[in-house]
Structure 1
Amino acid sequence: MADLQEWPVAEPYLNLHCRLGEGPYFEKATNTLRFVDIKSKRVHTVSLAKGPSSLKTIQLDVPVTVTANVQGHDPQEKLLVGLKYGLALLDRKTGRYNYLTRFTDGEADVDARIRSNDGAVDPQGRFWLGTMTDFGLGDFQPEGKLYRFDAGQTREVTRAGLTIPNSVGWSPDAKTMYFTHSSARQVFAWDYDNGNLSNERVFYQHEGPGEPDGFRVDSEGNIWHAVYGEGRVLKLSPEGKIVGQVTLPTKNITCCEFVGTELFITTADDEEGEGASKRFGGGVFRVDVGATGLEHYSFKLGE
């Protein structure tokens, strides 16, 4: 790996000490970056024109794990969010939310154990969202699932027996879907056709002490994959080979997002660490990597 591309980052853009920063999303219409703190139950927004001092926060009463735009709605007013019990619409003016579809039909014992994690909107406007054991219940169990929500009205389990389901994404031609199962240290790929999956294979098997967490796909089909526990974001080629890495001063890297050719990177705290890893844990970092990301799809909300 002598010709491995490297982008070192020394300090955070935002050093706000998220307990579990996640889900960075570029809101193109307003030139803002939004992201969540799952453990603190917050949605953060920062204007990239005004800088860190423009940080705004919505405090919720349940874990919020991922956000997406909704077709036909101003993202400054309504967002799609993954919450503790399912998929919901968040009113950004009031901070109130309404569930569109829950993970279960009133199974209280299951509801108490499970929360959402990462997900994304597919090319047809459906939302794919993983679930996993909630915090405070001991070790994570293989009780998670990957759901596909259609128009916020129907749900379908596409995969079960998951421990830490993570990012979902598509190739530039939308013919391949990727999905990361962090606890297995694997990124899967399928042939994708209008929501139908076939030809499952392991696209990337991570070797090392950390776990692959969240990712984004660039316009050339490379996957930029955060690695939790290793202080880096890997650049994976369309063939699943490591061709570059962003190195960061804190250990627990969670996800990334493209803004132009810059990569914005979320992290989680490192309370048991020391030095820079502890000092900058939970911060948001930025670095120019000379690549551009794919546009996000918007969720199609049913009538």
Structure 2
Amino acid sequence: MIEREYASAPMLGLPIAATHIPHFLAEGPTWDPVRKRLLWVDIMAGLVYQGRFTDEGAIEVEQAVQFPDTAGAVAVSRSGEWLVAGEHRLYSRSVDGEIVPGLKLIADPDRRFNDGKPDPAGRFVVGTKGPGGEMLLQINAEGTPAVLDDDLGLSNGLAWAEDGSALYSVDTLGRCIHVRDYDPATGEAGERRKFCEVPQGYPDGMTIDSEGHLWVALWGEGCVIRIAPDCTIVGRVDVPAPHTSCPTFAGPDLDTLVITTATEGMAPEDIAAYPLSGRLFTVKTGHRGIDPNLWAGTPTALSLEETA
């Protein structure tokens, strides 16, 4: 259990609004270390954005790519192919821009894919959002899914320890961060156990830094908190947008914290009070991230054979 409220934690920098686009549900910022670009999604719009950092710390949008339905998360391979979690299936996008649909993996029309990331070996781990009993799936390079969890309120943020030996995962509606042992070589995941509960706001997207501390966006609270391995809150970043959705460390030195926000669920008067809602923010916190994991699959593997 987190023992103290985040309001008593020290501030870790002053963020700046880095984009001008008021996203409805910006999420999943991902650093592409090969091409030195930032990727992120606007989930319900089905858009994946690519941008670059300017010398002033802003993010210049280079392209916005439309996918057939929703875009819950994006991952990138070493060769530059994208993997996108659509509504009920995964999509790949080649370096030439061709979008290839994978097989349908979710049958329930009221459920969709949500946050996802590659594991240290390049498998794609992705959760779902829907009516309840949500899943966390591990999808190997051949496109075959394995169920890690099937009892979540809302599967959300993911992070691995730097050596890959532990997987942290968020259940937003349960206001809980879980942890389990993880073997990157085999993909074997241990039994889930509670890492900590978050009593204020709703934990959403998450990343980890080089000191093994988690950075968790609190939806509804307008902040990102830094959680130590002993589950105490040791820092925070306040953002002038209440719906903070996900943080990640980006940039060539992985020392810029990028925070996505959303306007989802906000009335016009709320947006008037927080006019920067839906933007991406950047901040130098004095901390660094770890090397991002890259997707190791191939577009053709996503549609080789039907799965049960």
Q: Which residue of 1 aligns with 2:104?
A: 102
Q: Which residue of 1 aligns with 2:296?
A: 300
- SS in structure 1 of the partner of residue 72 of structure 2: strand
Q: Is the 8 A contact 1:254 1:265 kept in 2?
A: yes
1:219-238 aligned within 5 A: 219-238=210-229
- Give the partner amino acid of 1:81: V
- Give the partner amino acid of 1:232: C
- Give the partner amino acid of 1:298: L
TM-score relative to the length of structure 1? 0.87
Q: Which residue of 1 aligns with 2:156?
A: 166
Q: Which residue of 1 aligns with 2:91?
A: 88
Between the aligned partners of 2:15 and 2:145, the Cα distance in structure 1 is 43
How far the C-alpha of 1:67 sits from its partner, in A, is 1.1
Looking at secondary structure, tell me which structure has more strand per residue.
1
- SS in structure 2 of the partner of residue 7 of structure 1: coil
How far the C-alpha of 1:179 sits from its partner, in A, is 0.5
Q: Which residue of 2 aligns with 1:291?
A: 287
For residues 99-119 of structure 1, give each alpha carbon's deviation from its aligned partner in whole angstroms, at most 9, with x where no partner exists.
Answer: 1x4314xx4xx2x22211011
Between the aligned partners of 2:99 and 2:31, the Cα distance in structure 1 is 22
How far the C-alpha of 1:88 sits from its partner, in A, is 2.1
How far the C-alpha of 1:94 sits from its partner, in A, is 3.4
1:101-250 aligned within 5 A: 101-104=103-106, 107=107, 110=108, 112-133=109-130, 141-193=131-183, 194-208=186-200, 210-250=201-241
Once structures 1 and 2 are overlaid, which stretch shifts more, 234-243 or 270-279?
A: 270-279
How far the C-alpha of 1:55 sits from its partner, in A, is 3.8
- SS in structure 2 of the partner of residue 274 of structure 1: helix
How far the C-alpha of 1:3 sits from its partner, in A, is 7.5
Between the aligned partners of 1:55 and 1:121, the Cα distance in structure 2 is 24
Q: Is the 8 A contact 2:263 2:271 kept in 1?
A: no
| Alpha-carbon distance change, 294 to 8 in structure 1, aligned in 2, over 3 angstroms | closer
Q: Which residue of 2 aligns with 1:28?
A: 33
| Alpha-carbon distance change, 279 to 146 in structure 1, aligned in 2, over 3 angstroms | same
TM-score relative to the length of structure 2? 0.85
For residues 136-194 of structure 1, give each alpha carbon's deviation from its aligned partner in whole angstroms, at most 9, with x where no partner exists.
Answer: xxxxx214211110114211111113231001211122211101000000000112224
Between the aligned partners of 1:201 and 1:30, the Cα distance in structure 2 is 37
- Give the partner amino acid of 1:200: R
Q: Which residue of 2 aligns with 1:268?
A: 262
Between the aligned partners of 1:276 and 1:220, the Cα distance in structure 2 is 38
Q: Is the 8 A contact 1:66 1:119 kept in 2?
A: yes
Could you list the runs of 5+ residues in structure 1 that have no partner in the other structure?
134-140
Q: Is the 8 A contact 1:204 1:241 kept in 2?
A: no
Q: Is the 8 A contact 1:221 1:237 kept in 2?
A: yes
- SS in structure 2 of the partner of residue 279 of structure 1: coil
Between the aligned partners of 1:62 and 1:199, the Cα distance in structure 2 is 33
RMSD: 2.2
Between the aligned partners of 1:23 and 1:98, the Cα distance in structure 2 is 20
Could you list the runs of 5+ residues in structure 2 that have no partner in the other structure?
302-308
Q: Is the 8 A contact 1:249 1:277 kept in 2?
A: no
| Alpha-carbon distance change, 277 to 220 in structure 1, aligned in 2, over 3 angstroms | farther
Report 1 or 2 for greater relative contact order, CA contacts < 8 Å, sequence distance ≥ 6. Answer: 2
Identity %: 26
